[in-house]
Amino acid sequence: MKLATATMIAILAMAPVARAEEKFSANSLTAGCRTPSTASHYDQGLCTGTVAGLLILVPVIAHAPGERFCPPLQATVGQAMQIAVRYIDARPARWHEMFVDLALEAFREAWPCR
């Protein structure tokens, strides 16, 4: 979870601290990940950027086996967004948790490293 924490620190630097937890919860951020989305362009970009960052950085910088996932080379940000949304939608009791944590769990389940 150290990697998720470091990722969130980078993302949180862009938002006021008082609203950061609410803004980056799965409940809030998932709306921007849906296709088609009725969310604002800002929320769509926030989701896309968060997922793209995870997809690009985590396989490269995660050192602990439990923190890594191994997406196929042809995996797209759109596919990763769909994986995250399906995973989060299946766990409504956890929507208050941080989007990044649940998305990482989703990616580890979908793309385990062998």
Residue 35: per-residue pLDDT: 85
pLDDT digits (tens, 9 = 90+) for 66-75: 888 999 999 9
Residues 89 and 103 sit within 8 Å (Cβ to Cβ)? no
Question: What does the DSSP 8-state code read for residue 65?
Answer: G
Domain boundary assignment for the chain: 2-110
Residue 18: per-residue pLDDT: 43
Cβ neighbors of 26 (< 8 A, separation 6 or more) are: 88, 94, 95, 96, 97, 98, 99, 102
Give the pTM. Answer: 0.79
For the chain, the first-to-last Cα distance in angstroms comes to 20
